């Protein structure tokens, strides 16, 4: 429920209009980027062609033909999907144990793991590059999946934990009375009950993996390079080729924007780390 100053019909409509105008402002940079992606590089830099131009698919064709977009996209999908699955596979039993079987110290461990996320990743980059190169793991999908999983694991566990905590302990205990084993409890009781929360967590983890640029750009060259690397590679230092860069960026964020629109509830739940239920 909201507190509303005056609830006249006109007041409500004008507030809604205002909220939509702000929404358009918010969406404008994305809109501008999508628009630019349909312009030639020459049109893209001409202000008089801001809204009026001859749309072209040249940038997208160029991207798929000369830049091997699909290989980068495939790498992005594979690494993000597997990292999310593994993070959930470790996170669900972990959060389950902490929510229903708490041992002393587990929460401290979790807090400690969360706090490591605050440390500047730059401090770890140099030794990490050094080590992965000498182990022969540099530029492999395996490495990227492991890294993506590990950096998101603390948040995944934390979010799942907040959802699991809301499930009454009695339900789990009733299952134990009936002689269901741990795996059965997780599969038959916990997962169905917390399904919404698990989906939101998975979506958040997927988005974070998909967007991750720090590690994926710096720990890959070609074989495991993701869409972030493709954008990075198209950033001409002089700031030229905006049409092409916009097309690459649009193609990289498109899946997230579309996915997010169809899973609005999970997107909001996930992006607010479960604060909005």
Partner 1 sequence: MTKWFEEHLPKLVLAPSFIVVLIFVYGFIGWTAWVSFTRSRLLPRYELDGFIQYDRLFDSPRWDTAFSNLFVFGFLFIVIAMILGLILAILLDQNIRTEGAIRTIYLYPMALSMIVTGTAWKWILNPGLGLEATVRGWGFEDFTFDWLVNPDMAIYTVVIAAIWQSSGFVMALFLAGLRSVDQEIIKAAQVDGIPTWRVYTAIIIPAMAPIFLSAFIVLSHLAIKSFDLVIALTGGGPGYATDLPATYMYTMAFSRGDIGQAASSAMIMMAVVFTIVVPYLYSELRTKDD
Q: Taking CB under 8 A as the criterion, which residues in 215-274 touch partner 1?
A: 228, 231-232, 235, 237, 239, 242, 245-246, 249, 252-253, 256-257, 260-261, 264, 267-268, 271-273
Stretch that binds partner 1, among 17-25, 59-67, 133-141, 191-199 (CB under 8 A): 17-25
Which three-class secondary structure string do you get for the chain?
A: CCCCCCCCHHHHHHHHHHHHHHHHHHHHHHHHHHHHHCCCHHHHCCHHHCCCCCCCCHHHHHHHHHCCHHHHHHHHHHHHHHHHHHHHHHHHHHHHHHHHCCCCCHHHHHHHHHHHCCCCCHHHHHHHHHHHHHHCCCCCHHHHHHHHHHHHHHHHHHHHHHHHCCCCHHHHHHHHHCCCCHHHHHHHHHHHHCHHHHHHHHHHHHHHHHHCCHHHHHCCCCCCCCHHHHHHHHCCCCCCCHHHHHHHHHHHHHHHHHHHHHCHHHHHHHHCCCCCC
Alpha-carbon gap, residue 67 to 230, rounded angstroms: 8
- Interaction between residue 4 and partner 1 (CB under 8 A): yes
- Interaction between residue 26 and partner 1 (CB under 8 A): yes
Cβ of residue 166: shortest distance to partner 1, in angstroms? 13
Q: Closest CB to partner 1 among 120 and 136? A: 120
Cβ of residue 70: shortest distance to partner 1, in angstroms? 19
Binds partner 1 (CB under 8 A): choice among 18, 70, 142, 195: 18
Q: Closest CB to partner 1 among 29 and 136? A: 29
Cβ of residue 79: shortest distance to partner 1, in angstroms? 14
Cβ of residue 96: shortest distance to partner 1, in angstroms? 8
Cβ of residue 242: shortest distance to partner 1, in angstroms? 6
Burial 253-277 (b: 16+ CB within 10 A, else e): bebeeeebeeeeebbebbbeebeee
| Phi, psi values for residue 8, rounded to 5° | -70, 155
Cβ of residue 127: shortest distance to partner 1, in angstroms? 4
Give the contact letters, 116-155, x = binds to partner 1 (CB under 8 A), - = no. xxxxxxxxxxxxx---------------------x--x--
Closest of 209, 201, 227 to residue 79, by C-alpha: 209
- Interaction between residue 181 and partner 1 (CB under 8 A): yes
Q: Closest CB to partner 1 among 65 and 126? A: 126
Per CB under 8 A, contacts with partner 1 among 35-74 are: 36, 44-45, 47-48, 50
- Interaction between residue 190 and partner 1 (CB under 8 A): no
- Interaction between residue 20 and partner 1 (CB under 8 A): yes
Q: Closest CB to partner 1 among 101 and 222? A: 101
Cβ of residue 46: shortest distance to partner 1, in angstroms? 8
Per CB under 8 A, contacts with partner 1 among 75-114 are: 90, 93-94, 97-98, 101-103, 106-107, 109, 111, 113-114
Alpha-carbon gap, residue 252 to 255, rounded angstroms: 7
């Amino acid at each position: 429920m909201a507190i509303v100053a005056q609830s006249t019909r006109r007041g409500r409509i004008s507030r809604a209009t205002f909220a939509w105008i702000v929404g358009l402002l918010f969406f404008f940079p994305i809109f501008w980027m999508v628009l630019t992606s349909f312009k030639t590089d020459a049109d893209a830099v001409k202000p008089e062609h801001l809204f009026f131009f001859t749309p072209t698919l040249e940038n997208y064709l160029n991207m798929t033909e000369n830049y091997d977009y699909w290989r980068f996209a495939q790498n992005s999908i594979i690494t993000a999907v597997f990292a999310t699955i593994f993070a959930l596979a470790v996170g669900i039993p972990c959060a389950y144990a902490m929510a229903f079987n708490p041992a002393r110290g587990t929460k401290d461990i979790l807090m400690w793991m969360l706090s490591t996320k605050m440390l500047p990743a730059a401090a770890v980059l140099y030794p990490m590059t050094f080590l992965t190169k000498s182990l022969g793991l540099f530029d492999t999908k395996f490495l990227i999946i492991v890294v993506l999983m590990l950096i998101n694991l603390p948040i995944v566990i934390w979010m799942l934990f907040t959802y699991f905590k809301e499930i009454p302990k009695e339900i789990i205990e009733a299952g134990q009375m009936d002689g269901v084993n741990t795996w059965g409890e997780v599969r038959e009781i916990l997962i169905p009950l917390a399904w919404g929360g698990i989906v939101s967590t998975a979506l958040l983890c997927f988005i974070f993996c998909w967007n991750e640029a720090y590690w994926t750009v710096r720990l890959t060259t070609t074989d495991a390079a993701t869409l972030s690397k493709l954008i990075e590679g198209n950033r001409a230092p002089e700031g030229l080729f905006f049409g092409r860069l916009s097309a690459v960026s649009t193609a990289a964020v498109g899946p997230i924007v579309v996915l997010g629109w169809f899973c609005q509830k999970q997107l909001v739940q996930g992006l607010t780390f479960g604060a909005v239920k």
